[in-house]
Amino acid sequence: GEDVEQSLFLSVREGDSSVINCTYTDSSSTYLYWYKQEPGAGLQLLTYIFSNMDMKQDQRLTVLLNKKDKHLSLRIADTQTGDSAIYFCAAPRGSTLGRLYFGRGTQLTVWP
Amino acid sequence: NAGVTQTPKFQVLKTGQSMTLQCAQDMNHEYMSWYRQDPGMGLRLIHYSVGAGITDQGEVPNGYNVSRSTTEDFPLRLLSAAPSQTSVYFCASRSGQGRTDTQYFGPGTRLTVL
């Protein structure tokens, strides 16, 4: 299987919460990342979580990490149309810095 | 700071042509990487560099060459373009300092090979 897996599509109504899920295989990952890509643009770091944490909250964003199951999720509260984008989960490739495995990306569509 | 810049933004090549995608960063980052993004495939690592004079292969290096003569620049060369190399190419950099692997991405180059 792939090193980082995530579902490809998610549609929500404006104001609802969005939850994007990701699983990864490398148990040595120290940090796990969420990147956001808006149409026609490069990727921007959204948030990250250290592997010894279960949860990290940053304004409307909540990251949950289940290290035992190698499962990472990103929750966006009060989702807005401006949140429509592709969200990528990323995990380091072993101990080599500068190398990340990216998931295929989840296309989030927010309906007004 | 301009961050990570890439040129050109768009390029159309014929099969067999060669070209160089340019990438530069002004953040004095040690690590630089090239990724390609294909629909439904996420990002795949082509080549990366941990410092000037040091490069290594990623997942999909065939058909691409890189060099890193300065900290700032990390060009990607296509020696003989093939239609399978039609993709969006992203350059990224990260600092050698710090514990996280936060990467900064350029805006991308959309390449079409006919």
pLDDT at B20: 97
Write out pLDDT tens, residues B41-62: 788 999 999 999 999 999 899 9
Query: Would you say A4 and A103 are in contact if contact means Cβ atoms under 8 Å apart?
Result: yes
Q: Which residues 38-57 of A have a C-beta within 8 angstroms of B?
A: 41-45, 48
Higher-pLDDT residue of A41, A78: A78
pLDDT at B96: 67
pLDDT at B97: 67
Mean pLDDT of A52-80: 94
pLDDT at B93: 93
User: How many angstroms separate the CA atoms of A11 and A47, rounded?
Assistant: 21
B3 contact A CB<8A: no
Write out pLDDT tens, residues B67-99: 999 999 999 999 999 999 999 999 999 876 666
Query: Would you say B31 and B14 are in contact if contact means Cβ atoms under 8 Å apart?
Result: no
Of B43, B94, B100, the CB nearest to A48: B100
> Which residues contact residue A12 at a Cβ distance below 8 angstroms, ignoring those fewer than 6 apart?
A18, A79, A108, A109, A110, A111
Q: Decide: helix, strand or coil at residue B85.
A: helix
Write out pLDDT tens, residues A17-61: 999 999 998 777 678 899 999 988 889 999 999 888 899 999 999
User: How many angstroms separate the CA atoms of A95 and A49, rounded?
Assistant: 16
The pair of structure tokens assigned to A61 is 């964003």
Cα dihedral A62, A67, A70, A72 in deg (nearest 10): 0
Report the mean per-residue pLDDT for chain A.
89
* Confidence grade of residue B19 (pLDDT, cut at 50, 70, 90): very high
How many CB pairs below 8 Å do chains A and B form together? 62
